[in-house]
Structure 1
Amino acid sequence: KRGALSSLLSKYEIFKVAYGHHATDIAETFLMNIVENKKLGALTPKVEIEDSMMVITRPMIYLEEARIAKIFRALNLPKFDIICPYKKTTRRDTFKQIVKCINQIEPEKYFEKNVVESLEKSHLQDWHEK
C-alpha cells in the first residue's frame, strides 16, 4: 500500500502525508507485534520512505480514539464510515477489544498514552527523530 501511495502522490509532487493513526492504533499494533510477531514495536510517528522523498507523519498518536470521538461529538463534526468491501473481522479487532478491556480495568492509567510514551523512552531506533 505504501509503495502504491508513494508512486501516486509523487506524480503530483506531493511528498508529505499525514496519517490519522492515533494512540489506540499504536497500542493495538504494539500488542499485536508482541503476540503475533514476537517483536517489540509499533507504528512510528514519522517514516521517511527510502528511495523517495516521501515522508509519512502521524500527528495524532498522542490522542486516544475515544478522545478523538469525544472531540468530534463536541464540535458536531461529521463522521464518515468508509465501508471497505474487503472488511471482515480481523485480528486487529481482537486486539482492539483487549485494549478496551485494559482501559475498563484500569481507566485512570491511560494505557494507550502509556504505550506511546514507553515507546518514545525506549531504545527502539524507529521511535527516535532521524
Structure 2
Amino acid sequence: MQKLLSKTRQAIKDFNMIEENDKIAVGLSGGKDSLALLHILKSYQRFSPEKFELIAITLNPGGVDNSPLHKLCKDLSIPYHEIQTDIKEIVFDIRKEKNPCSLCANLRRGALNDTAKKLGCNKVALGHHRDDAIETFLMSILYEGRVSCFSPRTHMDRQDLTIIRPMIYVEEYMTKKAAKDYNYPIIENPCPVDGKTNRQNIKELVSKLNDDMPGSKKNLFGALNNADNFFIWDKEKIK
C-alpha cells in the first residue's frame, strides 16, 4: 500500500487533482482497480494536506449482487450509493450492439456524472492506471488514426464537474497484488464481451511488444508525458 500511495500522491500533486473541500465520488465498479482506488484514497485522506470528502457510486447494469461492496464501504465509513440502471438491456437487448463498448461507456459515464452531481460532488475519481493509459494511447493510433489519450484531469464545463484519475502512475500488476493482499471483494464483470474486445487485443499486443522489446511500455508512457518533444506533421507549419 505504501508504494501505491506514493505513486498516487505524486500524480495528485503533478496534476493538482485534489483541492481543499472537494467532494469526490469514486466510481466503484467492483473490479480490482476501482477497489484499489477506493482503498488508496481512503488511506490518503488521513494525511492529505487538503481536507476532502469521499463517497462511492456503483452503477448496477442489471442483476448484479453488489452486497459485498455495501459491506466494504460500511467498514471503511464511506457513504455508498448503488444506482440501478438498464444499461445492459439498452446495449445488448434493445440496440443489439455488435461493438458495444463505446455506447456502454457513454451511458455509464453519463449516469455516473449525473449521480455525482446530484449528490453534491464536484469531482469524480476513476480507477484508470498506467497500463490503461498506454493501451488507450495505442488504440487511438491503431484503430482511429489519431494521437490521443484520456487526461489525468479533465473539467466538464457543461456539468461543472472534474474527472480525475489518481492512479495514473500505478501499474496494473500493483492493483492485482493489492487485490490479493487485501482480499478485495471483487465483483465478477457481468459484461458478455469481457475479454473479447479491441482493448483486450491491445493489452496482449503491448505485453508482446514489451517481451520482444524490453522497455517499450515505459517508452510509450514516456511519450505521453513528453509534450515538449511532441512532433506531428502540420502541413501549414512545414510549408
C-alpha change, 1:82 and 1:50, in structure 2 (3 Å) is: farther
Q: Are the aligned partners of 2:113 and 2:124 in contact in 1 as well (CA < 8 Å)?
A: no
CA–CA separation in structure 2 for the residues paired with 1:46 and 1:7: 18
After TM superposition, list the pairs within 5 Å mapping 1:34-113 onto structure 2.
34-73=141-180, 75-78=181-184, 80-88=186-194, 89-107=196-214, 109=215, 111=217, 113=218
Could you tell me which runs of 5 or more consecutive residues in structure 1 were left unpaired when the two chains were aligned: 125-130
Q: Computing the radius of gyration over CA atoms, which structure comes out larger, 1 or 2?
A: 2
Q: What's the CA shift for 1:79? A: 5.2
TM-score (norm 2): 0.46
Q: What's the CA shift for 1:78? A: 1.8
Count matched residues. Answer: 121
Report the residue type matching 1:53 in the other structure.
D
Identity between Structure 1 and Structure 2 (%): 31
- Output the aligned Cα RMSD: 2.1
- Normalized per residue, which structure has more strand? 2
The one-character-per-residue Cα deviations of 1:65-84 (angstroms, maximum 9, x if unpaired) are: 113323444x4342514322
- In the alignment, which residue of structure 2 is the partner of 1:32? 139
The one-character-per-residue Cα deviations of 1:29-67 (angstroms, maximum 9, x if unpaired) are: 111100111001112101111212211111111121113
Q: Are the aligned partners of 2:209 and 2:216 in contact in 1 as well (CA < 8 Å)?
A: no
TM-score (norm 1): 0.79
Q: What's the CA shift for 1:116? A: 2.9
After TM superposition, list the pairs within 5 Å mapping 1:107-122 onto structure 2.
107=214, 109=215, 111=217, 113-122=218-227
CA–CA separation in structure 2 for the residues paired with 1:79 and 1:64: 20
- In the alignment, which residue of structure 2 is the partner of 1:15? 122
SS at match of 1:52: coil
CA–CA separation in structure 1 for the residues paired with 2:171 and 2:212: 16
Could you tell me which runs of 5 or more consecutive residues in structure 2 were left unpaired when the two chains were aligned: 1-105, 231-239
SS at match of 1:83: coil
SS at match of 1:20: coil
